[in-house]
Structure 1
């Protein structure tokens, strides 16, 4: 049979794909890619930028596309068969990556170009590609002994499998838990929409009553509104103990092995630890700089956090006589305090944030800023019936990108929200290849009587992931290796986080915040309440994020080989940030997918780092107008379109006219005057 993955295709041929197609496609694509690499390494012509460095960046295009399709499915529409196949394929890809970086002939040619090319003959993008290719090889074992190269191969192959297993365990733990309720009294406090969604879920599982799960659209409202404290505790302990049960899905030994292997790998390559290895190619250049940054934020946020916690404790005592707040009380009493303090119930907002209308409004925001137009195209194939696809055009009507959107939780889809790509942007041979990007979320589902009505947090999440998508869609570079989101990790969150700011602006909200039944624009008083609550408990939120970053650095900024007790190590790392008693039954590390499965190891700090950038950048928009085309053009020209073609600080200065300043973030968070 013909393999659709090995035939020419533009958009991913999902309707023709069977799981059986993938392994043969990988085998063939790997063979093709190896042949391309060998041709570069064995080229009899003298090494040049074009025949070595540029050629290498374009090599393996078919393999890259197959890889993106397969692993996107493994995240958004997986099953046991795909997961098993991923365990086979990941080591194959790791071995191939090592075959490239440890290829002596290839590195010799790259080194020859690096040391002897006329730099004045290269433009900025070419110079950056040369620098990054040389560093990639030198940082990943090209100059190791044969013995050490073999050990590097073994480490990378093992890590590839361990990270997949870690994620599979978290997904299975998330999906196996359910809170099945049959007593209507247990639903006290829950809004009607949450009750209806839980009833629909129970019916879909052949059960009477109501079912709640650890998926965010089910879990978060339950923790915010359920009056039954024991049931909130049950949910919180289940959520906080994923991968921490001492059973077949326990992730402790896996994460210890991952941390130790990363440390061994860094030492093998001549670095003090994994964080030193990672941060060499970040805006924050060292663990010391990251730690100093986090300490400065913590010093500003901790006094505010303690004041906020005292206020919350007093509120809980006054409302219910509760003498000690626990983790499962935080969201519940915070929501009640916010309602009383600002006269704002999140349920008041949801009718104004119907998903389809928010989506169209978000497109209009992008149109006002960047001249983009989005047209739905139901003829483009998708991997699930819920996925929508849009053709994107610029202000001149030129095709710019394909945009996929997948919004709701379901079995086989991991939790959270992310942006990904099916095809990179690049230019070659006079042709401009446009990108295919996707966002995947887990938002509130429609029910039998209600459309999908988003919480305000879900609205900001949608804009966040769309910011990543814009970074991919508006890419305008020559080389795929520098395109779109191929930037320093602590810079990649700037385009996403800045887009969240428009969700708080009346001028933007008027475009999409309309009542799903009446079409009424969200009242100005509700907008003011949204803005007033924007930094509600920001001290506690900042401390929470800093604690996650400190935990990341505790695993990757030192020597983990002596760590045997995951819980104790976590407690030590986060001790200075704890605001609530830590239950013995819970532990974050075994489900901390960002750092043990995703790409955030030694990089979780980048969320707060990028907040400094986004607050400072949006202050520029606020000064000139949130839809000011001159500022938007500068942002597109110097940030969104340039990818990783230049040093990110240079790009930022070109956009802003100066380096970013921390005060913009502290002012937005209400922490500017906080005592240290």
Structure 2
């Protein structure tokens, strides 16, 4: 029986657990089952003994293989469903389960918010059965041990089946009852996962598997990889330690979790506003000044000021407010130090003193926030020391591509060497502009950069009448068409819109796509994945774009059809390929595109086009990865490798061969004039080195804060401000502001502690892959099936089932880098060089 009283206590607060970098997969991917490497082909027979050539249609609800409708008709429909309201589509239905509903997200168990809780309870019962089966192996024969790794992996899949689902629902569902139920289910399953994470009994079973030669040698390559990963993660969490030490480790982990929440909650400047004379706000939008004056005159109405901090739009302000006399009496306004108006002021206010004041106050952390950060850093260092590592960076990097703190530092230094000259040239350009407009003043400060960048942009903006209408060539439907056409050429897959019966989706704006492939089947085109696209902004929905794994791909082994451990997998959609049965991956793609076109389709800025291409890179990783094991499926790979497919996709967005596939005016069908995009890209690239160099500095700060060792820290604790200023003095392009204490505002220190460099590394690798595979001088290389198959076969299909350096070496055909190491990291930094510089979203 499930103790729902215990659950109700757990459900009252949301667990902030680590999540894979950028991709939204299961928070812990189960019992330390984080997942990484290996599997060459989807039809490989080297996954272990036993026949998998089954007829799944008699036991599982396999998808139909052949889908009706022509490719041309589906292509037209794809544009239509994204460019016109849902109410105009007969086959699109809003949410609201009815009798015979397929259930939310095609899960027949999810007919209501209450049923989500029941689904979590039923899954927990099955998970406990699998856990007990694993524990029973400690006293069983060697023959029985041969199936242990599959059971571990299956347990991981069960837990993620609820945790991933609940994470997605609580993020995007508009119904408070569903949100509450998802919080409830997520918290309870996470509680059980944490219990498993500290289980020495499970660790003993795994240790016995790996210490029994006849069993270890019989494991398939994937099973061995998963076993090694499980063993590493168990030991990293202290499972192999004696009880006293293990309890201390668990206490430290609890402290780290608590401090992380406190730090994220406390991210705010010491002072949230400053007083500024209205006459000193010359250059700021008069409407913004008017709103500041109104908010200041109505200080007793706190909602006015809070609104200014939250939203850049003034259209929804209340019509009532202070009297005319009260407004005219205001000579000093209360200016927020962060938020949209503060950013607007940084770009437009002429007064250097005002910009300086806002810059410093907007980056100054309070003493308590800095203290929390230093406690967190100390707790992480102590945990690393207890686990045998000298620093938290060393502890975190052992299973990453970089492997050592020294390799990360060298990589960042090499990248800084390649990037700084370009960044300095950009600053010199702005210095000259300041000299001309500020009586020859030679000093250039950090608070000058954004202002003079904005001035330079205005001065150099092309005077082309149609410049501001670049988005007319990128309606959402047209871009989705383009992505489908691109993936057809690269990978042989395409997007097909599908009807959504009542109850399957959570909002009428959601669109469902089947991902169809022309590969891997003797029966013709197959459905290899399902994607739910929730791309439009709405009240209460998160603004950040994201890719969520709702259900990952994995092989369903023959014994699962008969052992009765998991009745819940009976209606999971499946794919049959090469005689093997796989779960069909299901993902959610979330954006917050806002339609500014009342009588037409949603038109995207080019930055939004890049965002959509980026998230589709994650989606292809999930869809095309075809591993037998859950733990190494799709985006379940090394943190500093997972962004490669998504960052690579950004390169495609501006390629002429790719744009020729789709970019055309939404009304006239006129193709995109090349000069229109070139002008926009040229402006965006004007300060690309500064953007990248800023990321390098932030990565160096993260690295320095997490490279502290007991010998390097003072007896009184960690001085994060001293470390921050040391990094600034060594690397900053501007005079250092000594009293800012910005490290207390650096939220990524929690989620990406010691691995913030990862996005830079993947950006560098993506630049190399783009130049040498897709943009290698061959005509049409960016839309070449040969290049696409090369990237798919060397990177995407493996998920986390292959060492990332082997993927890197394979796709670049540079075998000497297959083992990684400092030379490989140096090659990436120096080889990518200037190409890694770019705009950062």
Please state if 1:602 is matched with 2:754: yes
Shift of 1:475: 1.4
Aligned to 2:165: 69
Pair 521,632 (structure 1): closer, same or farther in 2 beyond 3 Å: same
Q: Residue 618 of structure 1 is aligned with which of 770, 794, 804?
A: 770
CA 1:383–1:580: 2 relative to 1, 3 Å: farther
2:585 paired with 1:462: no
Instruction: Give, in angstroms, the shift of residue 59 of structure 1.
Output: 0.7
Residue of structure 2 in register with 1:11 after alignment: 106
Number of residue pairs aligned between Structure 1 and Structure 2: 646
Q: Distance in 2 between matches of 1:83 and 1:164?
A: 20
TM-superposed CA distance for 1:8, in Å, is 8.7
Q: Decide whether the 8 Å contact of 1:535 with 1:669 is kept in 2.
A: no
1:629/1:306 Cα in 2 relative to 1: closer, same or farther (>3 Å)?
Answer: same
Contact 2:104 2:504 (C-alpha < 8 Å) held by counterparts: no
Distance (Å, rounded) in 1 between the aligned partners of 2:531 and 2:338: 25
Report what 2:564 is aligned to: none
Residue aligning to 2:686? 536
Offset of 1:272 from its aligned partner? 1.3
The residue number in structure 1 matching 2:449 is 330
SS in 1 for 2:555: strand
Partner SS for 1:537: helix
Matched, 1:637 2:788: no
CA offset digits 1:57-77 (Å, max 9, x no partner) = 111534322211332345456
Cα distance 1:639–1:307, how it changes in 2: closer, same or farther (>3 A)? same
- Aligned partners of 2:419 and 2:833 also within 8 Å: no
Kindly indicate whether the alpha-carbon contact (under 8 Å) linking 2:393 and 2:405 is maintained by their aligned counterparts in 1: yes
Match of 2:151 among 55, 59, 62: 55
Of 127, 133, 154, the match for 1:39: 133
Tell me the SS of whatever aligns to 2:795: helix
Aligned mates of 1:554, 1:85 — CA distance in 2: 41
**Counterpart for residue 811 of structure 2:** 655
Structure 2 counterpart of 1:367: 488
In the TM superposition, residue 268 of structure 1 has moved relative to its aligned partner by 1.8
Per the TM alignment, residue 637 of structure 1 is displaced from its structure 2 partner at its CA by 1.6
- Structure 2 CA distance for aligned equivalents of residues 513 and 602 of structure 1: 40
Range moving further from structure 2, 118-127 or 84-93 = 84-93
Q: Which moved more, 1:33-42 or 1:512-521?
A: 512-521
Is the Cα–Cα contact under 8 Å of residues 156 and 631 in structure 2 kept in the other structure? no
Contact 1:40–1:51, Cα closer than 8 Å, also in 2: no
Q: Is the 8 A contact 1:419 1:438 kept in 2?
A: yes
Deviates more, 1:416-425 or 1:287-296: 416-425
Query: CA separation in 2, counterparts of 1:626 and 1:85?
Result: 45
Kindly report the root-mean-square deviation, in angstroms, between the aligned alpha carbons of the 2 structures. Answer: 4.5
Please report how far the alpha carbon of residue 124 of structure 1 lies from its aligned counterpart in structure 2 after TM superposition: 2.8
Residues 231-240 or 347-356, more deviating: 231-240
Offset of residue 264 of structure 1: 2.2
Compared CA separation, residues 28 and 40, structure 1 to 2 (3 A):
same
**Structure 1 segment 72-151 matched on structure 2, within 5 A:** 72-76=168-172, 96-118=192-214, 121-151=218-248
**Is the Cα–Cα contact under 8 Å of residues 77 and 412 in structure 1 kept in the other structure?**
no
Q: Secondary structure at the match of 1:552?
A: helix
Task: Give the CA deviation at 1:319.
Answer: 4.8
Inter-partner Cα distance in structure 2 for 1:235 and 1:470: 46
1:432 aligns with one of 582, 586, 590 = 582
- Could you give the per-residue CA deviations for residues 560-583 of structure 1, whole angstroms, max 9, x where no partner exists? 785566555433333333234566
- Are the aligned partners of 1:91 and 1:158 in contact in 2 as well (CA < 8 Å)? no
2:462 to 320, 343, 346: 343
1:556 Cα deviation from its structure 2 partner? 1.7
Match of 1:546 in 2: 696
Q: Of the two structures, which has the highest relative contact order with CA contacts closer than 8 Å and spacing of 6 or more?
A: 2
Distance 1:137 1:417, change over 3 A: same
- The Cα of 1:163 is off from its aligned counterpart by 3.8
Q: Where does residue 394 of structure 1 map in the other structure?
A: 517
Q: TM-score, normalising length from structure 2?
A: 0.67
* Secondary structure of the corresponding residue to residue 426 of structure 1: coil
Q: Distance in 2 between matches of 1:236 and 1:516?
A: 42
* 1:95-147: CA deviation from partner (whole Å, max 9, x where unpaired): 54453344333222212221334566444322212221221222221211101
CA deviation digits over 1:444-469, x for unaligned, max 9? 55364775443333322221121111
TM-score by length of 1: 0.81
Aligned to 1:484: 634
Contact 1:36 / 1:59 at 8 angstroms: preserved in 2? yes
Distance 1:223 1:276 in 2: 41
1:441 counterpart SS class: strand
Q: How far apart, in 2, do the equivalents of 1:199 and 1:184 lie?
A: 21
- Taking the aligned partners of 1:236 and 1:462, their CA distance within structure 2 comes to 33
- Offset of residue 495 of structure 1: 0.6
What is aligned with 1:355? 476
1:166–1:33 Cα change, 3 Å: farther
Closer, same or farther: CA 314–359 of 1 in aligned 2, 3 Å: farther
- Superposed CA deviations along residues 614-643 of structure 1, whole A, max 9, x for unmatched, are 111112111241111112112112211111
Does 1:578 pair with 2:732? yes
Structure having the larger proportion of residues in helix: 1
Contact 2:103 2:110 in 1 (8 A): no
Deviation at 1:292, TM superposition (A): 0.7
Matching of residues 197-236 of structure 1 within 5 Å:
201-204=313-316, 206=318, 222=344, 226=348, 233=355
Within 5 Å, which residues of 2 pair with 1:245-394? 251-319=369-437, 323=441, 325=444, 327=446, 329-338=448-457, 340=459, 343=462, 347=468, 349-377=470-498, 379=500, 381-394=504-517
Give 1:150 deviation, angstroms.
Answer: 1.3
SS at match of 2:587: strand
Q: Structure 1 residues 564 and 200, CA, compared in 2 at 3 Å: closer, same or farther?
A: closer
SS in 1 for 2:147: helix
Change (3 A) 1:488 1:367: same
How far 1:478 moved relative to its partner?
0.4
- Cα deviation for residue 24 of structure 1 reads 6.7
Q: How many Å apart are 1:82 and its aligned residue? A: 9.5
Between 1:433-442 and 1:534-543, the stretch displaced more is 534-543
Please say if 1:668 is aligned against 2:839.
no
Question: Aligned in 2, Cα 1:290/1:564: closer, same or farther, shift over 3 Å?
Answer: closer
